[in-house]
Amino acid sequence: MAAVEAFGGSDYVLPILQLAVDATEAHFKDSQTIWIQYKEYIEHAIEAAGSAGGADGDATALVDLLQAVFIERLGQPHAELDATFALYSQFITQHRNDTYEQHMIDANRTVSQTRQRCSIRDGCEDDLAKSAGSWGATTSYIAKLAREKVPNTKEICMLYERGLAISRYSPGAWDEYISFLAGSAGEMQGSLGVARRAVRNCWWSGSLWAQLVHLTYAESGLSVANEVYARAVSTHALEHSMSEFSQVATAHITVARLDHQSDPSANTDALLKACKDSLDAAYTLDLSTADPALRLERCCMAVVADVLFDTAMAREMWTRVCKARRECTEAWVLSAEFEKVHGSEANARKVYRHASQRLLDNPERLFDKWIAFEYGCGSLPDICSASHTINLQRHLIQRRAEREERANLFSAADDSAEAKPGNKRQRVSSQSCLPEPEAQAVSATDAAASNTVLYVSNLPPSFGSQDVESLLGGRHSVSKVTMLEANRDMAPQGQAKVELASIDAIVAALDKNGLKINGHFVSIHTFKPNRQPRDAAKTATIEVRGFSPETGNKKIEQVARKAGVPVRVHRSRLGDVVFVAMKLQEAQRAAYALNGCSIDDCTLEARIADANEHEAGSLHGSAATKPAPAVPAMVPRKTAAARRPTKKVALSATSSETPHVLSPEEAPSAKAKSNADFRQLLLGQKPPE
């Protein structure tokens, strides 16, 4: 009524009410509120026309309009359908009473069909209310409506709007709504408006910015789409993720390509610059957030190679991508496929072979692609070579996994040894999970003794062996109690070593850890003597063969260091054997790590070359059954390098004589000579007596 007085009567109010009803009639629960206002306004107009004594045609037209509004409303599913049907009955009684039965029969037929549709919506509304309006319940609601014979697009859009009122910060919800409008509904203008709302709520989403770039290009052209891309980049909101930035950059390149294809005479430098700038900007971001599908990279290479026909530039881009993402299998596979199409089979084979030596995230995919490529394009020697390389790499991957598993077992054993007193039960049970080399070094008797011995400390000074025995369960649980005393005055120090009869007795005794007796908090834990096995101080020498003459000692040290710290590394006189000396326990693990390892495309062979070689039999197979050869005399690496056939000996400027090469009979003992002695012998000088 206020609008009637302010804006000029029914000519203004009635169209506004019609727009309001048209916008809200698809809301199943709350649309009745607006519709009732619309109905009441028409009824007031009918009453005003009758009381004013105007022409009968005006009142009749308004009655026909209200009846049409009722019929349309009865065909629309809404929660107040029965109340609307009752209001329609009153309207017919008042204005169409002479044909009441016929109007009610027609309306009842419409209402019966609408009730069936309302029953589906009632169940969905209950599920939606129980889930507090979650997006999953909303999408389930939409899926049920989409299965109807003639789905109502307006009603589905209303459900999207209801869901987004709660999930407005969910990029996936906005993306799904935009895709529905642009695809199924065909509402490009409406989808553009929704995309603008979406980026205002989720400005960090690259997919929503990409949707806005595409829709803006379809509506307004390339220049306006480029402005949208520049606005997305200028916010710096997409720099948190390389994957999100890649999506909007891909959209930017796509619209530039579409514009270039529509007008081939346009400048191609702009398209090439868009590809290079997008790739440069993407690879300044964190590679850990990169797109695993490489959508931006694929788009750039396809545009440069297939649209601009610049194969050299595309190859440079792929090389850069593979160097930056060296562990990404998909990058290497795509690079090889590019070389197969735009380069040569030899280049593709080179990419596959180079990628197989990398630590990839999915090596089996690369192996499958390579062997399929060789079966389709390669010759029989190429297939055999690829199969051999793949099998070797699979073996190395398996060995690497075994070494990592073994290292994890060692670290788990160390962690259990350093556990807190509150975790004593776990420490007792973890002693049976030692790695295989450690378990072989400990005999069964020592393991049983260490599992049944406890160390008790912080006892009261008055405690004796009988008191400790009664504390830990009595004679049936305790086998032996040894009170520990000071070395000098033989005075008791409140500590005891207790041997228990069973595991159950150990568990019961460990439960008393921290018990307070006479003001002393007694500490009870497993007994571990502070001494190492006798063999721990012994050293062993690992003999390593099969490496390249150009391989330095440092590379071999790096591999050996993963299992143990080397004491020293020497080469043989001919430079074809390396000897790594270290402690015996570390040598067993280092030999396992070195044997079968690949360095400079060569597979190493490692074995323990001392008298204790039989202890490493499980690591080397048949190599352990052979008699251990005598260890040759060790010389410094510089001296060994001088004996290599491919190297020239660098003599001192003060000596013009040819160096004297030592025969095996003249070779002195390595342990009796120093570096100065070797230098004098090499230069042909007689050592001082």
Label each residue of 36-64 as H, E or C: HHHHHHHHHHHHHHHHCCCCHHHHHHHHH
Residue 591, pLDDT score: 76
pLDDT at 310 over 80: yes
Q: Which of 102-111, 372-381, 402-411, 431-440 has the lowest mean pLDDT?
A: 431-440
Residue 670, pLDDT score: 41
Cα–Cα distance, 570 to 581 (Å, whole number): 9
Q: How confident is the model at residue 512 (pLDDT cuts 50, 70, 90)?
A: confident
Residue 435, pLDDT score: 37
Residue with tokens 């690591």: 619
| Tokens at 33, concatenated | 């509120």
Residue 57 burial (CB count, 10 A): 9
| Tokens at 578, concatenated | 């390396």
Residue 415, pLDDT score: 63
Residue with tokens 């109807």: 148
Residue 195, pLDDT score: 94
- At 454, which helix (H) or strand (E)? strand 453-457
Fold of 421-428+445-526: Alpha-Beta Plaits (3.30.70)
Q: What is the pLDDT of residues 462-504, one digit of tens each?
A: 888 888 888 888 887 888 888 887 655 555 678 888 888 887 7
Residue 419 burial (CB count, 10 A): 15
Residue 451, pLDDT score: 53
Residue 501, pLDDT score: 82
Q: What are the backbone angles phi and psi of residue 543, rounded to the nearest 5°?
A: -95, 120
pLDDT at 24 over 70: yes
Phi-psi region of 362 (alpha: psi -120 to 50; beta: other; left: phi over 0): beta
Phi-psi region of 132 (alpha: psi -120 to 50; beta: other; left: phi over 0): left
Q: What's the average model confidence in pLDDT over 224-239?
A: 93
Q: What is the pLDDT of residues 546-591, one digit of tens each?
A: 777 777 777 777 777 665 555 567 777 667 777 777 776 677 777 7
Residues 6+ apart with CB under 8 A from 185: 153, 157, 191
Residue 546, pLDDT score: 77
Closest by CA to 632, choosing from 677, 544, 680, 573, is 573
Q: What are the backbone angles phi and psi of residue 288, rounded to the nearest 5°?
A: -65, -20
Residues 6+ apart with CB under 8 A from 550: 600
pLDDT at 626 over 80: no
The answer to whether domain 535-638 has CATH 3.30.365.10 is no
Q: What is the pLDDT of residues 234-288, one digit of tens each?
A: 989 999 999 999 999 999 999 999 988 888 777 788 899 999 999 999 999 998 8
Q: Are both 421-428+445-526 and 535-638 of the same fold?
A: yes
Cα pseudo-dihedral 506, 508, 509, 515, rounded to 10: 160
3-class secondary structure, 514: coil
Residue 478, pLDDT score: 87
Q: Which residue has better confidence, 227 or 4? A: 227
Q: How confident is the model at residue 228 (pLDDT cuts 50, 70, 90)?
A: very high
Assess contact for 28 and 77: CB atoms under 8 A.
Answer: yes
pLDDT at 420 over 60: no
One-character DSSP codes across 228-264: HHHHHHHT-GGGG-HHHHHHHHHHHHHHHHHHHHHST
Largest CA distance in the chain: 146
Distances (CA, A) of 607 to 137, 435, 570, 594, 612: 65, 20, 15, 9, 11
Residue 552, pLDDT score: 76
Q: How confident is the model at residue 152 (pLDDT cuts 50, 70, 90)?
A: confident
Assess contact for 317 and 345: CB atoms under 8 A.
Answer: no
Parallel, antiparallel, or unpaired for β 578-583 and 568-571? antiparallel
Q: What are the backbone angles phi and psi of residue 599, rounded to the nearest 5°?
A: -135, 125
- At 679, which helix (H) or strand (E)? helix 675-682
First to last CA, the chain: 127
| Tokens at 399, concatenated | 């060995």
Q: Which residue has better confidence, 613 or 342? A: 342
Residue 31, pLDDT score: 92
Cα–Cα distance, 33 to 407 (Å, whole number): 71
Q: What are the backbone angles phi and psi of residue 523, rounded to the nearest 5°?
A: -105, 125
Looking at the DSSP bridge assignments, the partners of residue 523 are 457
Q: How confident is the model at residue 659 (pLDDT cuts 50, 70, 90)?
A: very low
Q: What's the average model confidence in pLDDT over 165-191?
A: 87
Residues 6+ apart with CB under 8 A from 411: none
CA atoms within 13 A on the CB side of 669: 2
Q: What is the pLDDT of residues 180-197, one digit of tens each?
A: 998 876 777 889 999 999
pLDDT at 535 over 80: no
What is the DSSP code (8-state) at residue 516?
A: E
Closest by CA to 534, choosing from 427, 446, 628, is 446
Q: What's the average model confidence in pLDDT over 359-378?
A: 92
| Cβ density class 342-353: b for 16+ within 10 Å, e for less | bbeeebbbebbe
pLDDT at 447 over 50: no
pLDDT at 370 over 90: yes
Cα–Cα distance, 500 to 481 (Å, whole number): 9
- At 171, which helix (H) or strand (E)? helix 171-180
| Tokens at 13, concatenated | 């109010």
Q: Which residue has better confidence, 535 or 165? A: 165
Residue 612, pLDDT score: 42
In single-letter form, the type of residue at position 401 comes to A
Cα–Cα distance, 335 to 287 (Å, whole number): 18
Is residue 466 packed enough to be buried (19+ CB in 10 Å), middle (13-18) or exposed (0-12)? exposed
Q: What's the average model confidence in pLDDT over 44-59?
A: 74
Q: What's the average model confidence in pLDDT over 106-132?
A: 91
Is residue 108 packed enough to be buried (19+ CB in 10 Å), middle (13-18) or exposed (0-12)? exposed
Parallel, antiparallel, or unpaired for β 578-583 and 598-599? unpaired
> What integer best gives the mean pLDDT of the chain?
78
Q: How confident is the model at residue 613 (pLDDT cuts 50, 70, 90)?
A: very low
Distances (CA, A) of 213 to 210, 247, 276, 618: 5, 11, 19, 64
Closest by CA to 176, choosing from 202, 150, 147, is 202
Cα–Cα distance, 385 to 353 (Å, whole number): 10
What's the chain's Rg over C-alpha atoms?
Answer: 43
| Tokens at 279, concatenated | 């790739």
Q: Let me know the angle formed at the C-alpha of 637 by 585 and 558, rounded to the nearest 5 degrees.
A: 45
Cα–Cα distance, 169 to 177 (Å, whole number): 13
Residue 490, pLDDT score: 55
Q: Percentage helix, strand, coil, to 5, in the chain?
A: 65, 10, 30
Residue 554, pLDDT score: 74
Q: Which residue has better confidence, 597 or 277? A: 277
pLDDT at 682 over 70: no
Residue 485, pLDDT score: 72
pLDDT at 522 over 70: yes
What is the DSSP code (8-state) at residue 399?
A: H
Residue 9, pLDDT score: 64
Break the chain into its structural domains and give their ranges: 2-117, 124-202, 203-325, 327-398, 421-428+445-526, 535-638
Residue 258 C-alpha from the chain's centroid:
34
Q: Which of 123-132, 425-434, 678-687 is the most confident on average?
A: 123-132
